[in-house]
Structure 1
């Protein structure tokens, strides 16, 4: 049984997928299996996978979205930990070795999260150096509520058993499915954050499309509704931590929506999150965001 199952969902990214896989096969640590889930691609993704032969387990499904693709990979994984990698991102050679070092250092935590290096062009990654290990341990994910670091599925390793217990990712086509997973893993024993070295090159694409903005709105509405329904663990004792995490994300997305030219969605998400903000309370945001949106719209009209 391999230590890591690497799950890579992909959709119509044949060229980028090759670069991603090459970064996997350049890893110092080799105790892994690679599962690429083709989410109904119509390009030459299958031809790319065929060239790797038995080094890659190719899985294929009709187009159902990234969450469903990752879930298929989770179902087929045989490793102790599942590590997620997006098909347009790149690992540094020390990524898996660093995850494994931290896993052993902190007694096999349920979740280990690395830190990404955002990039637009490959040459930017040449400036990244392997720094000495700096990692931080917490009782669980919710205990990180007051910490500030990038939280995304493309930098996490999760104990396979824990993933299956919480049901994997939501299959809804929303942005924020990775946050939803982390909240459902919120009380699983052990969480570690790797501050350094950086483990993944996180590719930045062009400006946000209208559909991406809508999916961001839908994703935050889903997270707020799941919290309202009591879908996340921890009960009343952990409610404040959950709200801190969800509302930090909500504030980011409302600002992103307004700056992306969707002030109506920004204000609707503000309205839906208002009761939760009152529970904290976050007066500066509650009082300041509506006039900020108006000012933002006026600035855009003057351009």
Structure 2
């Protein structure tokens, strides 16, 4: 049984998949298996993967989205921990070695969250250095609620049994499915947050702004609904911590939507979040957002932007 199962979901990214796999096979840590889940690709992904022979376990499914693809990988994983990598991102040679060091320092750790470096050209990652290890440890993920440092949920190593216990990722095609997973892992014992060194290069794409906006809206709406239905762990005793995280994210998303002229989506999330903001409470946001939204809308119309 390997220590790590590296799960890479992919869809029509043969051009980038080679680089992602090269970064995995360049790891200092060697106790891992690699599972690539082809989510119904129509390009030459399978031909690309065939070149790796038995170094890669290839799983296939009809196109169902990244959540479903990761779940198939979780189902087939043999490792004690699952480490996720998207097929357009890159690891540094020390990534898995860093995870191992963190896990061995405290045996009961269920979840490790790393730090990412944004890039658009792979050459820019050459300047990233291996900084001394800096780790914050918490009893569980919910215990980190008051830390406002931006989280990079694309960088996860999770105990395989914990992933299976909470049911893996949602299969819905929404943004924030990784944060939803983190909330559902919220009371699993032992959370380690690696602040340094950076462990992944997160590729930035141009993409469709309208698609990203809709997906971000749907993801936040889904998380609010999950909380309303009581589907996140911790019960009433841990509700304050869940709300700290959920509402911080909601405020960020509503401001982003507003800046992109999607007042309709921003106000809908504001309305849906009001009961939770009242429970928190967050009066400054509740009273200040509507007039700020109105002023921003008028300013955008006047400036034509």
TM-score normalised by structure 1 residue count: 0.97
Give the paired residue count.
303
Q: Alpha-carbon deviations, 1:246-292, whole Å to 9, x = none?
A: 11111111112112221100100010001101111112211222222
Separation of aligned partners in 2, 1:196 and 1:237: 32
2:252 match: 252
Rounded to whole Å, the distance in 1 between the matches of 2:282 and 2:121 is 38
Structure 2: how far apart are the matches of 1:144 and 1:153?
14
Alpha-carbon distance between aligned partners in 1 of 2:124 and 2:144, rounded to the nearest angstrom: 30
Counterparts of 1:71 and 1:110, CA distance in 2: 18
CA distance in 2, matches of 1:185, 1:129: 31
User: Is it true that 1:219 corresponds to 2:219 in the alignment?
Assistant: yes
- The residue number in structure 1 matching 2:127 is 127
Asked if 1 retains the 8 angstrom alpha-carbon contact of 2:255 and 2:266, the reply is yes
Alignment-derived partner of residue 4 in structure 2:
4
Aligned residue runs from structure 1 range 57-206, under 5 A: 57-206=57-206
The CA deviation at 1:297 is 2.3
Q: For the residues of structure 1 that align with 2:158 and 2:108, how far apart are their CA atoms?
A: 10
- Could you give the per-residue CA deviations for residues 7-34 of structure 1, whole angstroms, max 9, x where no partner exists? 0111111111111111001100011000
Partner SS, residue 75 of structure 2 = helix
Q: Distance in 2 between matches of 1:187 and 1:33?
A: 27
Q: Which deviates further from its counterpart, 241-250 or 283-292?
A: 283-292
What displacement does 1:215 show?
Answer: 1.4
Q: Does structure 1 conserve the Cα–Cα contact (< 8 Å) formed by 2:4 and 2:81?
A: yes
Unmatched 5+ residue regions in structure 1? none
Q: Distance in 2 between matches of 1:237 and 1:194?
A: 27
Distance in 2 separating the partners of 1:9 and 1:198? 21
Tell me what 1:53 maps to.
53
Secondary structure at the residue paired with 2:154? helix
Shift of 1:300: 2.8
Deviation track 1:136-195 (CA, whole Å, cap 9, x = no partner) reads: 110000000011334344211000000000110111111111111111110011000001
Could you tell me which residue of structure 2 aligns to residue 21 of structure 1? Answer: 21
Partners of 2:160 and 2:59 lie apart in 1 by 18
Q: Does 1:31 align with 2:24?
A: no
Task: Kindly state the Cα deviation for residue 229 of structure 1 after the two structures are TM-superposed.
Answer: 0.8
TM-score, length basis structure 2: 0.96
Matched residues in 2 for 1:125 and 1:108: separation? 33
In 2, Cα distance between the equivalents of 1:159 and 1:81?
A: 4
**Distance across 1 between alignment mates of 2:25 and 2:279:** 48
What's the CA shift string for 1:51-85, capped at 9, x where partnerless? 11111111111110110000000000000000000
Superposition pairs of residues 258-273 of structure 1, within 5 angstroms: 258-273=258-273
- 3-state DSSP of counterpart to 2:240: helix
- The answer on whether the counterparts of 2:114 and 2:152 sit within 8 Å (CA) in structure 1 is no
State whether residues 138 and 191 of structure 2, in contact with CA within 8 Å, keep that contact through their aligned partners in structure 1.
yes
Does structure 1 conserve the Cα–Cα contact (< 8 Å) formed by 2:84 and 2:157?
A: yes
Q: What is the distance in 1 between the residues matched to 2:148 and 2:38? A: 33
Q: Let me know the Cα RMSD of the aligned residues.
A: 1.2
